[in-house]
A and B are shown apart, each in its own frame.
Chain A
Amino acid sequence: MTEIARAEQPETAGQPAAVGQPPAGESKPARVVPGQPDMWVLVLFEALAFTAYLGVYLYHRAADNASFLQSQAQLSPWLGTIDTLLLLTSSLFMLRCVQASRAGQVRAAMVNVVVTGLLGVAFLGCKVTEWVRLARAGHGFTSNEFFTYYFFLTGIHFLHLLIGFVTIGVLVYQLRRRERRSQEIVETCAVYWHTVDLLWVLIFSLLYVVR
């Protein structure tokens, strides 16, 4: 099969074979990573960008630890823990969605991805509640250095999660029609969702937990 001929076959859509099954007569090489390898470029870059953001936060925190600790005490560890549990649970359901999709159980995959999305919505609700609570207590984006980092990091993560809902939409679109279903796209969307989850765990650890 030439490169061009391979390219003319839709990479992501139009695979009529059962989910997770290679087309008849073609032995697909084992994939090294789940989903499109290209998505891992985004994972790497986002991890590096957040490492930079968090590194800058830690550097400034070390310079003024007492003030940061005082502001950190205004955060609700319970809300942060609930946020984390919601996202970790959503990742679990995303994992179950991928497994169901691999097994060709489309209905189960759809149920799991819908639950994932609902948990994501619950996270957003929880996060907005926390922002409103802090704002009412007089802690805003410009209040002090800690809250600047807090609102910046949780805000940029919020944006990542909103993009995550787009990937869930793509995933549902993929699962709904057999002829366009692609396990690779399903896994690519899942990789993005897990990345958002991972970034939150880092933010939660450094903003809420580390003293």
Chain B
Amino acid sequence: MTGASMTGADTTSDGMTGPPAGSPLSRFAWHCRNNPKRELWFAWYATVIFYIIFFVVFFPVTKAEPPPHPWWSDAQVAAWFQQNHHGLLIGFGIIFAVAGMTAPQNALIAYSMRRMSVSRAFAYSYLVMYSLSAVPGLLLLCVVLSVGAMQTGLDPAATHWLFDFAFLSYIGTMGVFLVGSLVWMLAILLDKNRVMPKWFGYLNLCNALTEVVVAPAWIFHTGVLAWNGLISWWVNMVVFGIYTGAFITLLRNLIRREDFGDGPLPDLPSKAAGGNAPHGNTPHGNTGAASLAGTAP
């Protein structure tokens, strides 16, 4: 990504302003060959596609979200596995196929921090934390619930054990999201390159504070603070949904604004066109931010 051929300066010096007219397939092929931001766009689309698949699999297919009641008896848990047998196996089979898409997403978020005027430690710590947390926070839940669905003749007490293990493993990673959100928040608030708006830094704090609220789920099996409670799950999910929508949009804007320099990011072309266009003002000279943004797929 940092190679000379990938810089915006080279792109503009080649006189490349955008894809040729033609079919969508030919334009896509042009982007794959020529767009200097193709890796970033790949990571962004991987993020969007992963979240769509995640939502479809976890909500309607496996019914693992909203989480089932933690106070269920052995028989009720066994009945839940039986009712969702096919959904759990098919859904988590899909998740195993696409789980690797979390890596480009984490890489893109880490990239946003590497583009900031802050220490690289922020990006690296975020990347390590989120990469490791994908194992207990996503894969372990899928493996354990798949085992529960597969082993239909299992002792109900053992099935219940799998059920608790899966969901506690899932919610147990909220602490990682908490610290990860604080790392991203600090990077954004300290950054001078305007990579992300400051309000999103503060939104990270809101998200981190709602992750704290999940902690009582380790104590409560019933009520609003249980793992499917009104406060622990529903409020948290609303905040997380807004937070996720915000960062996906902001990462898209980051790619559109990227000039592959190391100074402040230029504004979006639409803003720049209103007057103070940033051309020629970036640390790397005329990077042609607008023309680069014009090459967005």
Q: Mark out the residues of chain A between 170 and 205 whose CB falls within 8 Å of any chain B CB in the assembled complex.
A: none
Which partner residue on chain A sits nearest B239 by CB separation?
Answer: A49
**Nearest-CB residue, chain A, relative to B246:** A41
Stretch of A4-12, A20-28, A75-83 contacting B (4+ beta carbons < 8 Å): A4-12
CB distance from B206 to the nearest CB of A (A): 4
- Cα A142 to Cα B225 with chains together (Å): 11
A196 to B192, CA, bound (A): 28
Q: Which of A1, A3, A56, A160 contacts B271 (CB 8 A)?
A: A3
Q: Which of A81-125 contact B (CB under 8 A)?
A: none
Query: Closest A-chain residue to B235, C-beta based?
Result: A52
Question: What B residues does A60 contact at CB under 8 A?
Answer: 224
A-B interface contact total, Cβ < 8 Å: 86
User: Would A159 and B209 count as touching, CB distance under 8 A?
Assistant: yes
How many angstroms from the CA of A56 to the CA of B224 in the assembled complex?
A: 8
Let me know if B252 is at the binding interface, CB within 8 A: no
Contacts of A159 in B (CB 8 A): 209, 212
Cβ–Cβ contact B276 & A49, under 8 A: no
Residues in A with CB closer than 8 Å to B271 are 3
Which B residues are CB-close (under 8 A) to A45? 202-203, 206, 239
- A148 CB–B CB distance under 8 Å: yes
Chain A residues positioned under 8 Å from B212 (CB to CB): 156, 159
- Size class of the B contact interface (CB-based, 8 Å): 35 or more
A36 and B198: CB pair below 8 A? yes
Return A55 CB to nearest CB of chain B, in Å.
Answer: 9
List B residues 174-228 near A (Cβ within 8 Å): 192-194, 197-199, 201-203, 205-206, 209-210, 212-213, 216, 219-220, 223-225
Nearest chain B residue, comparing its CB with the CB of A5:
B281
The CA-CA distance from A36 to B225 in the complex, in Å, is: 34
Interface residues, chain B, CB within 8 Å of chain A? 192-194, 197-199, 201-203, 205-206, 209-210, 212-213, 216, 219-220, 223-225, 230-231, 235, 238-239, 263-264, 266-267, 271-272, 276-278, 281-282
8 pairs, CB–CB < 8 Å, chain A vs chain B: A2-B276, A3-B278, A4-B266, A45-B203, A49-B206, A49-B210, A152-B231, A156-B212
10 more A-B residue pairs beyond the given contacts A49-B206, A148-B224, A160-B209, with a C-beta to C-beta distance below 8 A = A2-B277, A4-B264, A7-B192, A7-B193, A8-B263, A36-B198, A38-B198, A42-B202, A49-B239, A142-B220
